Every structure is written in structure tokens, then in C-alpha cells.
């Protein structure tokens, strides 16, 4: 496994640097009010970034049905003040639905480039809106989980295409190595998602209680 991690370090490092630069640029642009977050989120690129997976044949219809089911169950847990139900729902949403979406985007490589825009937009939002400790913890935990899965998927794709350049004997060996890395990253991401779901649920329930 250590062998695979060493091979993946450049992809992880590159994506991490891109994310940090994008987020930093967004935060600076937001603080200086060069960009307004509402305009950014409502732009054509912002809309495409949030809904890109709906254009995938088959998966788009499936995700729409899932969102309908998710929203109904979320409201049920919210109004009944069911903390454990909400935590479980948020965890499953982030660890399964959102992670699968990230994998699909990363498999096609180009769509995941919109994540750079997403980090820029998040930087603008954090700069122009008050962010509590709960929000920061949730952001870091969910970012960590998605980051592991996205980079592992990109590693699998690039290893399979350029297998000799990455030191693999065959394309199949490269694919199997990437799949193994993705499986481990997916499982490890669960730890970050669990913490994020607990913090996010507490924040949502507290905010909902204030408005009742």
C-alpha cells in the first residue's frame, strides 16, 4: 500500500496546491469585494458546477430521485428533532451519494476541474459571510473526505492511461493498483465524514431551534 501512496503523492500534492490557491484567491477576492458571492453562485459556471452530474445519462435521473427522497427524510428528522437520524442521513449523503458523484466527475477528469472553481467560490463565501467554528469544522472534515477520494480516482485514471510512466508493468496492474488505493481512500474518508456529520447536525438543529 505504501508503494501506491508514494506513486500517488504527486497527484495529491498537485490537487492540494490547486485547492489552496483557489480557496486563497477566492477569500482575497471576497474580502476585497472584487467578487460578490451571490453573483458568483448564480453565474452560469456556478450553476453548472453544482449540477454537472445531472447531465450523466442514467445517473442524472437517479440523483434527482435520491434528492427527493433525501429532502423528505431530512425534513422529517428536522421537525421531529431526531439528531441520530439526521446524523445518519448527512453521513450517508456525504459518504455515499456525494463521494460517488466526486468519483464520476474525477473519472472523466475534465469535470473535476470545476472543483477549482468550487474552492474559489467557497473562499468568497467564507470571506463575505460569518463562519462559526461548526461551519469551519464541517468544511474541513468534508473537504478532507472528498479530497482523498477525488485524488485516488484521478490516480487510478492517470495510472491506467500512462501506466509505464508511473512504473507499472501492465495497464491492468495500474488499474488494480488505482482501484485498491480508491477503496482505501473511500474507507478512510468515512472517519472525516462521521465527524463532519455530527458537527453539521448539531449546527443545523441549533439554528432550527432558534427560528422555531
Sequential pLDDT tens for the chain (212 residues): 778 888 899 999 999 999 889 989 998 998 898 988 888 778 877 777 777 766 777 777 788 888 889 999 999 998 988 999 999 999 998 888 888 888 887 877 666 677 778 788 888 888 887 765 666 777 777 777 889 999 999 999 999 999 999 889 999 999 999 999 999 999 999 988 888 888 888 888 887 766 65
Residues 6+ apart with CB under 8 A from 68: none
Ranges of each domain in the chain: 2-206
Q: What is the pLDDT of residues 129-149, one digit of tens each?
A: 776 566 677 777 777 788 999
User: Residue holding cell 441520530?
Assistant: 84
Q: Decide if 121 contacts 46 (C-beta within 8 A).
A: yes
Q: What is the pLDDT of residues 9-41, one digit of tens each?
A: 999 999 999 988 998 999 899 889 898 888 877
Determine the Cα–Cα distance for residues 161 and 32; give it in Å rounded to an integer: 42
Determine the Cα–Cα distance for residues 97 and 59; give it in Å rounded to an integer: 11
Determine the Cα–Cα distance for residues 94 and 145; give it in Å rounded to an integer: 9
pTM: 0.84
Amino acid at each position: 500500500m505504501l508503494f501506491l501512496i508514494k506513486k500517488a503523492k504527486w497527484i495529491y500534492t498537485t490537487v492540494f496546491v490547486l485547492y489552496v490557491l483557489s480557496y486563497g484567491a477566492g477569500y482575497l477576492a471576497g474580502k476585497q469585494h472584487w467578487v460578490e458571492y451571490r453573483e458568483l453562485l448564480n453565474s452560469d459556471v456556478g450553476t453548472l458546477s453544482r449540477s454537472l452530474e445531472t447531465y450523466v445519462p442514467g445517473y442524472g435521473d437517479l440523483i434527482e430521485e435520491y434528492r427527493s427522497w433525501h429532502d423528505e427524510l431530512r425534513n422529517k428528522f428536522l421537525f421531529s428533532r431526531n439528531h441520530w437520524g439526521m446524523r445518519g442521513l448527512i453521513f450517508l449523503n456525504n459518504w455515499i451519494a456525494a463521494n460517488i458523484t466526486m468519483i464520476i466527475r474525477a473519472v472523466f477528469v475534465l469535470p473535476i476541474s470545476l472543483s477549482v472553481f468550487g474552492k474559489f467560490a467557497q473562499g468568497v463565501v467564507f470571506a463575505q459571510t460569518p463562519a462559526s467554528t461548526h461551519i469551519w469544522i464541517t468544511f474541513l472534515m468534508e473537504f478532507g473526505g472528498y479530497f482523498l477520494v477525488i485524488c485516488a480516482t484521478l490516480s487510478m485514471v492517470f495510472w491506467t492511461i500512462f501506466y509505464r510512466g508511473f512504473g507499472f508493468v501492465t495497464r491492468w496492474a495500474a488499474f488494480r493498483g488505482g482501484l485498491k488505493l480508491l477503496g482505501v481512500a473511500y474507507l478512510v474518508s468515512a472517519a472525516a465524514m462521521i465527524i463532519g456529520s455530527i458537527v453539521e447536525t448539531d449546527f443545523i438543529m441549533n439554528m432550527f431551534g432558534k427560528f422555531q
